[in-house]
Amino acid sequence: MTSQCAPSTPASRRTKGWKLARVGLLAAAVGATAPALGQPQNISQPVKQVHTGEMVVSTNEFATGLDSAWSMAFLPDGRMLVTELPGDLVIISPDGTVSEPIKGTPAVWAQGQGGLMDVALHPRFTENQLVYLSFAEAGEGGTAGTALGRGRLVNDRIEGFEVIWRQHPKIEGPNHFGNRIAFSPDGKILFSLGERFQFGPAQDLSNTLGTVVRLNDDGSIPQDNPFVGQPNAAGAIWSYGHRNIEASAMHPITGDLWIAEMGPLGGDELNVIRRGANYGWPVVSWGVNYDGSAIPNPPEFPRFAASAHHWSPVISPSGMIFYTGALFPQWHGDLLIGSLSAGGLERVDVEEGAVAGTQFIPFNTRIRDVEQGPDGAVYLLTNVRNGKGAVWRLTPMEIKPASADGDRSGLGAGPG
């Protein structure tokens, strides 16, 4: 389970241009002064350089002054939309200038892990200017639930925002809202959700807790969804049996949705989502309950869909991409996943639809989201509150020649 920050008043916006990192390996950059790796800190200054085994990765501070930033999406003109959990949506210019909050966004339930969360552009954004936002929405009697809406970005404001889909039921509690938006190649929305820390409902098809839902781009339910027309089943459900999903990405070749979801004590999972599949939570898990009680391992119940990979100890995955750029050729086709609890970037080598190896790249702070920029650089969103959050830009500094046998050094073994 991720520990989110309580809402706070955003600090004044600051302008921060591109700042070149100084040369130096990881040990020289942080070894003498930083806390031990594996204990991520709420820091805004980037680790200057990280040696991955294949290259030295330089970390540049691209923009600062963000408050509990949650998601980012590049606009066609090179600017970036960024959500902040307390409820603001800002625009970051190519020179790193952060705008004042733009108008037209929805009111959010900003408590615990809830607030303004994911942002995504419609696949035909250049034609329709549609921006999608997901957020925690207040209900009656102190309840809340995840909602998805859209509006048009016109003159740097959101116009005509409307909620197009709501998770049900709304319940009490501040945890496990999930919230990642992905568009499939056929233009459908695959929206990943948490089970609101309710456990059992993730196995109940009558609600959408702990599910991935599939929607038309206007929020209506496609008639070819697996449970449409089934009595006592929510027609929006595409897959179920999930715990808390804060990372999702479409495979650029196969069009499959990959998600990374948070386990309890141990057992974060990487899953390839299949139509109508049940992924087992809370009946099975690679982790244990917070009170130490055991949960059956997934192989004991083969009727549940198997994970592609799992992590113990947890990395607390949040935000991920399939890297398709040219700037990091060694990473082409790999998954890059933000890590909150481990404090860095998890690289997953995906070969022919399977996990061939993983590598953790430490940055010593909680990473909430990952994006690929139009320049091919990798952008990281730090999970820091009180106006101290930042966007970091990763670029390679030194690349080793590939070995004759094509070995990709630095990657560990496949699924654990």
Q: Which of 51, 122, 168, 176 is catalytic?
A: 176
CA atoms of 39 and 342, how far apart (whole Å): 7
CA nearest neighbour of 232 among 206, 207, 210, 252: 206
For residue 329, count CB atoms less than 10 angstroms from its CB and return exposed for 0-12, middle for 13-18, buried for 19 or more: middle
Containing H/E element for 127? helix 125-128
Unique residue bearing structure tokens 């100084």? 22
* Residue in 228, 229, 259 with CA at minimum distance from that of residue 242: 259
CA distance between the termini of the chain: 20
**How far, CA to CA in Å, does 319 sit from each of 162, 191, 260, 279?**
25, 13, 9, 20
What sign does the CA torsion over 345, 351, 352, 354 have?
negative
Contacts 24+ apart (CB under 8 A), 303-307: 303/278, 304/241, 304/278, 304/279, 304/280, 305/239, 305/241, 305/271, 305/274, 305/277, 305/278, 305/279, 305/280, 307/269, 307/270, 307/271, 307/279, 307/415
Between CA 215 and CA 325 the distance in angstroms is 29
251 is catalytic: no
Catalytic residues: 176
